[in-house]
Amino acid sequence: MQTKPLVGISADRTMRGAHPSHVVGEKYITAVVDGAHALAMLLPALGEQQSPEDVLAHVDGLLFTGSYSNVEPRRYGGHASAPGTLHDPARDATTLPLMRAAIDAGIPVLAICRGFQEMNVVFGGTLHQSVHTVGGYDDHRENKEDDLDVQYGPSHALRLVQGGLLQKLAGGASEARVNSLHGQGVERLGNGLTVEAHAPDGLIEAISVANARAFALGVQWHPEWKHANDALSTAIFRAFGAACRMRMKMGSTASVHA
């Protein structure tokens, strides 16, 4: 009998030499296994070769990861990307329909960085392609020359929305400190999404799905990085794992009565 929920983790499609490959950072896997206390299953970016329904029949939750690639602007009616921008159309074709189907089906969803931006696009929102070029916003990118611990170290304060899901996970605190490693950001909020937190410059940093049947949270920062060393990161993954376990039990009950 399965004792831990199974969480699907979205993969990027990238080239390893001459070979197309599907890749997930180990930090996401570790956070699911150790932070959410779940089993991890990597989901290749196969687009239409892999229907959302087939995936959802086997998972108890989904984690949508960050990535070096950006959502293609055509997915939200944006202008053409700057030359050299990395895209992953196979991932877009996989994650965008999968995320919507999962939320509609009551499958718990945690969306991080690119996943957060995907959540906004899925619900009809738009993105700033380069936040640092937009007047009034700070530069939210990391210095890639820094050591990883510096890149992923606390970068700015996070203002938590009073009474929101994220504030509850933070134990009622009004602020937290988070890392910042992104170039894109929310421009227009998607329909049916609720803002959970802002950066000091006003940029939306966390969202949830209003009236979702299960846990559905998106965050712009990276709570998976050394998650056990940060109280809010720990709370996020514990809550996600609890929602996945609840979903697993619901599925088991349905199987017994089928």
CB 171 within 8 A of CB 147: no
Residue 240 has pLDDT above 90, yes or no: yes
Residue 253 has pLDDT above 70, yes or no: no
Mean pLDDT of 127-153: 96
Tell me the β-bridge partners of 143.
none
CB 224 within 8 A of CB 116: no
d(CA 224, CA 240): 12
What percent of the chain shows pLDDT beyond 70?
97
Mean pLDDT of 210-230: 97
Give 168's contacts (C-beta < 8 A, 6+ positions apart): none
| pLDDT tens track for 166-200 | 999 999 999 999 999 999 999 999 999 999 999 99
d(CA 209, CA 217): 7
The model's confidence at residue 85, banded by pLDDT at 50, 70 and 90, is: very high
- Locate the domains of the chain by residue range: 6-255
Report the pLDDT value the prediction gives residue 258, as an integer from 0 to 100. 37
The model's confidence at residue 251, banded by pLDDT at 50, 70 and 90, is: confident
| pLDDT tens track for 12-27 | 999 999 999 999 999 9
d(CA 252, CA 238): 21
Domain at 6-255: CATH architecture:
3-Layer(aba) Sandwich (3.40)
Mean pLDDT of 47-61: 96
Single-letter amino acid code for the residue at 34: D
Residue 114 has pLDDT above 60, yes or no: yes
Active site residues: 113, 222, 224
Report the pLDDT value the prediction gives residue 46, as an integer from 0 to 100. 97
**Maximum distance among all Cα pairs of the chain, rounded to whole angstroms:** 57
Q: Are strands 6-10 and 61-64 parallel, antiparallel or unpaired?
A: parallel
The model's confidence at residue 257, banded by pLDDT at 50, 70 and 90, is: very low
Mean pLDDT of 158-168: 98
What percent of the chain shows pLDDT beyond 90?
95
Report the pLDDT value the prediction gives residue 1, as an integer from 0 to 100. 73
3-state secondary structure the chain: CCCCCEEEEECEEEEECCEEEEECCHHHHHHHHHHCCCEEEEECCCHHHCCHHHHHCCCCEEEECCCCCECCHHHCCCCCCCCCCCECHHHHHHHHHHHHHHHHHCCCEEEECHHHHHHHHHCCCCEECCHHHCCCCCCCCCCCCCCHHHHCCCCEEEEECCCCHHHHHCCCCCEEEECCCCCCEECCCCCCEEEEEECCCCCEEEEEECCCCCCEEEECCCCCCCHHHCHHHHHHHHHHHHHHHHHHHHHHHHHHHC
Report the pLDDT value the prediction gives residue 2, as an integer from 0 to 100. 79
Report the pLDDT value the prediction gives residue 252, as an integer from 0 to 100. 56
Give 106's contacts (C-beta < 8 A, 6+ positions apart): 212, 213, 214, 247
> Which pair of structure tokens corresponds to residue 135?
């007047």
Q: Are strands 204-209 and 193-198 parallel, antiparallel or unpaired?
A: antiparallel
